């Protein structure tokens, strides 16, 4: 049996709620436990990866690296819907990490292959 893969389905846009750091903390914890982590940003949730944002509104300490620290802890891949990545590019929103583009059906098929899945 291969390494378990923890799939996180992100549904909240950036800084949309007070517990925004919980999303990042769950991903970091899964990576620290030697699990593969695949994060699926649905719809506008990909804006959580916007580079250069002030971490204060998400209740993160100054200098907190947020999602950028995930690859340092283990095997992590990030996915988003092709259309939303194109929108980010059109409006000049630079993302802090590399994200793989998939269509909605491909996202669904891929996250169903994860050994564990959590929707946030």
| Digit-coded pLDDT (tens) for 32-56 | 887 889 999 998 888 888 776 665 5
Q: Is residue 67's pLDDT more than 80?
A: no
Residue ranges per structural domain of the chain: 5-119
CA-nearest of 67, 20, 46, 31 to 7 is 31
CA nearest 70: which of 111, 23, 27, 20?
A: 27
Whole-number pLDDT of residue 15 = 56
Q: What is the pLDDT of residue 63?
A: 46
Secondary structure string (H, E, C) spanning the chain: CCCCEEEEEECCCCCCCCCHHHHHHHHHHHHHCCCEEEEEECHHHHHHHECCCCCHHHCCCCCCCHHHHHHHHCCEEEEEEHHHHHHHHHCCCCECCCCEEECHHHHHHHHCCCCEEEEC
pLDDT tens for each residue of 69-98 = 788 777 889 999 999 999 989 988 888 889
Arithmetic mean of pLDDT over the chain: 81
* Architecture of the domain made up of 5-119: 3-Layer(aba) Sandwich (3.40)
Reading the block at residue 37, the tokens are: 């982590």
What percentage of the chain carries pLDDT values higher than 70? 79
The yes-or-no verdict on residue 18 having pLDDT over 80 is: no
- Better-scored residue on pLDDT, 59 or 13: 13
């Amino acid at each position: 049996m291969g390494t378990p893969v923890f799939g996180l389905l992100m549904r909240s846009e950036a800084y949309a709620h007070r517990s925004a750091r919980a999303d990042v903390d769950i991903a970091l914890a899964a990576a620290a436990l030697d699990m593969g982590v695949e994060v699926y940003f649905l719809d506008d949730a990909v804006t959580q990866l916007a580079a250069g944002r002030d971490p204060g509104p998400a209740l993160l300490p100054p200098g907190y690296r947020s999602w950028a620290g995930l690859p340092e802890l283990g095997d992590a891949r990030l996915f988003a819907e092709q259309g939303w990545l194109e929108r980010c590019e059109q409006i000049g929103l630079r993302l802090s990490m590399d994200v793989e583009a998939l269509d909605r059906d491909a996202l669904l098929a891929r996250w169903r292959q994860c050994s564990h899945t959590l929707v946030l």
